[in-house]
Structure 1
Amino acid sequence: MKIAFYGSSLVSAYWNGAATYYRGLLRALAAKGYDITFYEPDVYDRQKHRDIDPPDWCKVVVYDGTIDALKAAASEAAEADIVVKASGVGFEDDLLLEEVLRNAQTQALKIFWDVDAPATLAELKGCSDHPLRRALAEIDLVLTYGGGDPVVTAYRSVGAADCVPIYNALDPQTHHPVPEEGRFTADLAFLGNRLPDREARVEHFFLEPAFRLPDRNFLLGGSGWQDKPMSANVRYIGHVPTGDHNAFNVTPMAVLNISRASMAENGFSPATRVFEAAGAGACLITDHWEGIELFLKPGEEVLVARDGQDVAALVAALSRRSAQEIGQRARMRVLAEHTYVNRAEVVDKIFRARLGARMEAAE
């Protein structure tokens, strides 16, 4: 079966947090026999910051950031059995959705794949005439990379025929244990770009604990923090390429996950960073959000903090040995239950069941 997938970028993770998710899922689906073409626009300098070459398991089509190029790429949806428009493509998203749906075959399975459901739903609820809300009547299924029952209920309430969460997961070929590297040595490390709906939480869960523990070493990675006030025991290293993420995760005593505000409020939305860290065998401390126990067991496979004071207390009490034990238990859990192979099994069953039912109805 042919899949035409329109997303932000497969070959570049530059300002593109969905890259790991796309790569893991699509590679696992390709292994099941799907013929996949990924269409991405040449915007935000992503093509200048590629971190992988076009893979052999997926054809990548990069189109110019022009309307004509967008329409040409969208016209190729006509050749696919399954057509996917992802959220947050980054160039004329509304027009791309319209063009993709217009070109898709009548019998094709049409999917909107939302990689930021809380933000999308906030837009839909505030605008009854939103282009996506109007398009839901033509879309067979909404898939999301998180959200649980709250997102499913919300999507159905705005007109979606159905909604199924397909959670983030681990790609063991990409994220795994590696030797430690001295440049990432710290008691607690956090990696994340500076974003408006994350900054206050980074202050609360990372910078405040650093101030509380002046005798401990903290490491901050990610773009945009260079002018952020921080205590002397915080070392800022800027952008960390994806090829260095494993070493970044395994070297510190513990790493911190801080959800964006909308994700934390909604719950059931583990970031890719959660599985990257667990896959490398890191000891993960995460901010609290509803549903964490579906993925990792608090206290045994992950440490959970409700505020900055909790983070400081956890770091102060943690030893290198106990951190390694937590990291190993987390790694075993995600390898058993939360890989992209596991997720692809779910997606494959959904695709085959829906296309099969459609073929039967057409006979």
Structure 2
Amino acid sequence: MSEPLNIVILGLSITSSWGNGHATTYRALVHGLSLRGHSVLFLERDQPWYAKNRDLPHPPYGTTCLYADFDELRDRFTEEVAQADLVIVGSYVPDGVEVGRWVVDTARGLTAFYDIDTPITLAKLVHGDYEYLHPDLIPRYGLYLSFTGGPLLSWLKRSYRAQRVEPLYCSVDPDLHSADFGPIEYDLGYMGTYSEDRQPIVQELLLKPAQIWKEGRFAVVGPQYPETIAWPRNVNRIEHFPPSSHRRFYTSQRFTLNITRREMVRAGYSPSVRLFEAAACGTPVISDIWQGLNSFFRIGEEILVAERAEDVLRYLQETSDAERNRIGERARAKVLSAHTSIHRAIEVENHVRRIRGGYPRPRIIHSYG
């Protein structure tokens, strides 16, 4: 490893996983970077809905600071941004365009945009929605990191003049996810915040099987589901689990369900945090199908795919325990070999090395007041 980097990350949230998938991604990445010896300062806008639901108010890796608004951000952290070796601005950061322009104008080191929502971001840009990223800002970042890989990255570079585009997929923290199975409580479970475009698939691949197989045991975990949804009696509805409880939830299932947002399905090559988490726990995953899925897991051997309720019921009722365990073990081995927080930290290091031609001497800053 080269000399340590001084990194500043401005992200949606690291302290609260409520209603977002960003927090677990940032936690894994910051932990991985810290284990590799880098100094990481994470800056988060203090939002009331996250303040009420902070499941990790003081992350034990790196340094986390909250700020009230853009003015406070600029007043308190201009020096840190200016002197950092790498400054990363994430998607959905409040006032993201203003923050991004300030970062690229201020930073003397490498700047990067980390798009955890690439297909959604690009759809917003096409429709003139510049909530957190403006087309004119894209070529000003030295690096565009994307949760989504595949052909979409070449299109982004051609259409928006991005200097360099690289995938930086989500990852798992092996310290938090292991295959320590306890009592099996559910035949099939699903974890995900309510999304209008995902709900028809939840209906087809979980609620409909639950209605048909009344002896089966099912669970749905996640916030913001409308009260109008009619849950079958054999579906346990849980509002939220903090990341510290994810392992227990996944290992209490015979199978778990992965469902992908519509824009991610269209783009392909968009694995979710929950997909890697479940696999890391050794729980066999039943997933919807999208282009590029087989580049992460071998279909039929490391992951199962379903399009209809009948597919799900066949897996639940006909797969032997021995085969189910083999699928889970293979998926876990794949994740631990390629998709941990350390893998992602090394990828960040390599991107900086290639762009900057080696690391500069670190400029460690301790004035986070």
Using the size of structure 2 for normalisation, the TM-score is 0.89
User: Alignment partner for residue 97 of structure 1, among 75, 96, 100?
Assistant: 100
- TM-superposed deviation, 1:43: 0.6
Which residue of 2 is the match for residue 156 of structure 1? 158
- TM-superposed deviation, 1:174: 1.3
- TM-superposed deviation, 1:302: 1.0
In the alignment, structure 1 residue 216 sits paired with structure 2 residue 216: yes
Where 1:253 maps in the other structure, the secondary structure is strand
Whole-angstrom CA distance in 2 between matches of 1:129 and 1:250: 40
- TM-superposed deviation, 1:94: 1.9
Whole-angstrom CA distance in 2 between matches of 1:245 and 1:32: 25
- TM-superposed deviation, 1:57: 3.0
Whole-angstrom CA distance in 2 between matches of 1:26 and 1:134: 28
Please identify, of 263-272 and 125-134, the stretch whose mean Cα deviation from structure 2 is larger.
125-134
AA aligned to 1:310 is D
Is the 2:119–2:148 Cα contact (8 Å) retained in structure 1?
no
Whole-angstrom CA distance in 2 between matches of 1:358 and 1:276: 32
Whole-angstrom CA distance in 1 between matches of 2:190 and 2:60: 33
Q: How do 1:1-363 and structure 2 match up within 5 A? A: 1-64=5-68, 66-73=69-76, 75=78, 76-89=80-93, 91-105=94-108, 108-127=109-128, 132-181=134-183, 185-225=185-225, 227=227, 228-356=229-357
In structure 2, list runs of 5 or more residues that go unmatched.
361-369
Whole-angstrom CA distance in 2 between matches of 1:207 and 1:220: 9
Is the 2:97–2:137 Cα contact (8 Å) retained in structure 1?
no
Whole-angstrom CA distance in 1 between matches of 2:253 and 2:189: 6
Whole-angstrom CA distance in 2 between matches of 1:260 and 1:129: 20
Q: Deviations over 1:226-273 (max 9, x none)?
A: 621122222212212222111110111111011111111211111011
Q: Which has the higher contact order (CA 8 A, sep 6+)?
A: 2
Superposition RMSD in Å: 2.1
- TM-superposed deviation, 1:74: 5.4
Q: Deviations over 1:316-347 (max 9, x none)?
A: 22233322221112112211222222222222
Please identify, of 112-121 and 78-87, the stretch whose mean Cα deviation from structure 2 is larger.
78-87
Q: Deviations over 1:179-230 (max 9, x none)?
A: 4256xx1111111111223222222222222223223221111112362112
Whole-angstrom CA distance in 1 between matches of 2:226 and 2:187: 21
Q: Which has the higher helix share?
A: 1
Q: Which runs of 4+ in 1 moved over 3 A?
A: 128-131
Whole-angstrom CA distance in 1 between matches of 2:348 and 2:235: 42
Please identify, of 223-232 and 268-277, the stretch whose mean Cα deviation from structure 2 is larger.
223-232
